Amino acid sequence: MHVQWGRYPNGPVALQLVDEDGPVAVATVNVPEADLGPDEVCIKDYAENAGVLDLLVLMGVVTPTGRRIPTGFVDVPVARLLVAPAESPPITTRHER
């Protein structure tokens, strides 16, 4: 499994988990009103993505900041990127189409 980097249309870094068969999960969530640093992302670590934050930490991609951002139904953890994002085409989720 590896991480595909991209950007949401409004600018924040987007991370997608991909294996040899294709995309597995979008690991981030776009929270436009979140006050994030340029090296921070909101991790989708709930529902079908439970455990994604731990996986990204084990992969050496992020480290948790301890901050959480309310999104309406859940609070999502904010993580700091440990590696510079590669430029990829924007990642579009079904909620942004």
Range of the domain at 77: 2-96
20-59, pLDDT tens digit by residue? 899 999 999 999 999 999 999 999 999 999 999 999 999 9
User: What is the length of the chain?
Assistant: 97
Residue 17 has pLDDT above 80, yes or no: yes
Count: domains in the chain: 1
Mean pLDDT, rounded, for 64-88? 89
Please tell me the pTM assigned to this model. 0.84
- Chain centroid to Cα 14, Å, comes to 5
Instruction: List, in order, residues 6 or more apart from 46 with CB less than 8 Å away.
Output: 74, 76
Report the candidate in 24, 30, 33, 32 with the shortest Cα–Cα distance to residue 43: 30
84-97, pLDDT tens digit by residue? 876 544 444 444 43
What pLDDT shows up at residue 1? 85
Distance CA(70)–CA(46), nearest Å, equals 13
- Chain centroid to Cα 95, Å, comes to 15
